[in-house]
Amino acid sequence: MKLATGTLAVLAAFGTVAAQQPARDPIGTGPSLELVHLYFDQWPTGVAVSSSGRIFSCYPLGLDATNTRYQVAELGSNNTESPFPNAQINTPPGGAVDYSTNPPQSKGLSNYFISVQSVVVDPKDRLWVLDTGRALLSNGTLTTSNPGGPKLVGIDLTNNSIFQTILFPPTVAFADSYPNDVRFDLRPSVTSSGQGIAYLTDSSSEGRNGIIVVDLGTGESWRHLNNIPQVRPEPGFYANVWGESVYMNPGNGMPVSRLAFGADGITLSNDGETLYFSVVSGRHLYGVPTSRLRDRGLSSELFATGSVMDLGQKGVSDGLESDSNGIVYAGSVETDSIVTFNPQNGTVQTYVRDSRIGWPDTFSVSGSYLYFTENELWRGPSQQGGVDRRVKPYALYRVPLLNNATKISLV
């Protein structure tokens, strides 16, 4: 009798527990995020970490009209930020916009930063600053560039001095181009000039998308994959972050449309032979043999466009990164996560999932860590009907790379 009562009580308890707690999404997966820096001042996109652990960020004036104090900063302890390499280059005289023309245009100043979209530490531990040359007006209009504005600036981190400035001619960075992100292969064998090569994405929302290639020895640049479907926003693209729809919605009486960002994320395979890229307004990861991009022969664009591989879907991401084991990392803004693509078996898996992840913008590898900015891009005024719904501080996190991997070394 006692036994029977006890058994019934136990069964009843199980029944109650089961009814009150159906399965739920556990959210957390993978290594825990380590908070590295909080951004209380300007709105960041890029991050670059040197081999000794120095950290740099950029704050493009082209995406946030209030990013007027500095375009590049070195991050210090206790969440401090100092203009880098100095205050002067970060403050064009009279501002970045020329209001004497109608409509206003960005100034073509080669000795100043106009709007820096990315910062990247190359395999020789040098910092490169990618300037789109395009500033945003306070009413949400993105001005066009002038020659001198769009450029790559190389900075020697042993003495914080500029060693090279590569200007993009207007036939490569068009006035309405948006040079977005860049990766470096410094192996002497990849060019006849022997100083290595850079590959960039052009993510322009109004102009032509594609890949820009730069010979770092001669300073020459050229385009490939011009406006092919794989570098363009996918038709009908729709995304959702933290349970909210994300559209292009600038307010100011301007129409609501789908997010239209072209080729944006870019990274190299560990042997430098494959360039991976993806658009923000799409879900596919693409690869292309880098030899096809370096080729400037008469049929090179035909061969380049014909050699793009669709590596499958990985979710919606902004920046990409890769490691010494060949793993490709991508954000997945719709699943609060960072995913990995394994080129050995073509699979995509969730690596880290955390409710603090919404828009992992840009990645950087240093030591055996993957650093990434979380910048709430989708809550900015151009997505929210002109209302700024971003909440400071923005954050920089890091997680260990998968299987103790390190940075790719193409030197």
**What residue ranges bind ligand NAG (CB under 6 A)?**
78, 103-104, 137, 139, 141, 156, 158-159, 161, 252, 342, 344-345, 347, 403-404
93 by Cβ neighbours in 10 Å (0-12 / 13-18 / 19+) ranks as: exposed
What is the DSSP-derived secondary structure letter of residue 7?
A: H
Q: How far apart are CA 274 and CA 202, in angstroms?
A: 18
| Residue placing its CB nearer to ligand NAG in the complex, 10 or 38 | 38
Question: Closest approach of Cβ 140 to ligand NAG, in Å?
Answer: 6
Question: Closest approach of Cβ 302 to ligand NAG, in Å?
Answer: 34
| Residue placing its CB nearer to ligand NAG in the complex, 20 or 158 | 158
- From the centroid of its chain, how far is CA 345? 25
Answer whether 333's CB lies under 8 Å from 239's CB: yes
Question: Closest approach of Cβ 23 to ligand NAG, in Å?
Answer: 23
Q: Strand, coil or helix: what is 277?
A: strand
Using alpha carbons, select from 203, 42, 64, 206 the residue that is nearest to residue 136.
Answer: 64
Question: Closest approach of Cβ 50 to ligand NAG, in Å?
Answer: 14
| Residues 405, 409, 411: CA angle, nearest 5 degrees | 170
Answer whether 351's CB lies under 8 Å from 30's CB: yes
Question: Closest approach of Cβ 104 to ligand NAG, in Å?
Answer: 5
| Residue placing its CB nearer to ligand NAG in the complex, 145 or 305 | 145
Question: Closest approach of Cβ 40 to ligand NAG, in Å?
Answer: 8
| Residue placing its CB nearer to ligand NAG in the complex, 240 or 252 | 252
Write out the DSSP string of 161-199: EEEEEEEPPTTTS-TT--EEEEEEE--GGGSSSSS-EEE
| Residue placing its CB nearer to ligand NAG in the complex, 94 or 103 | 103
Question: Closest approach of Cβ 312 to ligand NAG, in Å?
Answer: 12
| Residue placing its CB nearer to ligand NAG in the complex, 54 or 294 | 54
Phi/psi at 320 (5° precision): -130, 160
Per-residue CA distances from 151 to 124, 132, 215, 352 (Å) = 20, 7, 13, 34
Using alpha carbons, select from 80, 142, 140, 83 the residue that is nearest to residue 112.
Answer: 83
Q: Which residues sit opposite 309 in a β-bridge?
A: 287
| Residue placing its CB nearer to ligand NAG in the complex, 218 or 403 | 403
| Residue placing its CB nearer to ligand NAG in the complex, 7 or 111 | 111
Question: Closest approach of Cβ 230 to ligand NAG, in Å?
Answer: 24
Question: Closest approach of Cβ 62 to ligand NAG, in Å?
Answer: 14
Q: How far apart are CA 170 and CA 184, in angstroms?
A: 22
242 by Cβ neighbours in 10 Å (0-12 / 13-18 / 19+) ranks as: middle
| Residue placing its CB nearer to ligand NAG in the complex, 144 or 274 | 144
What is the DSSP-derived secondary structure letter of residue 11?
A: H
| Residue placing its CB nearer to ligand NAG in the complex, 130 or 155 | 155
Question: Closest approach of Cβ 351 to ligand NAG, in Å?
Answer: 11
| Joined tokens for residue 128 | 């490169």
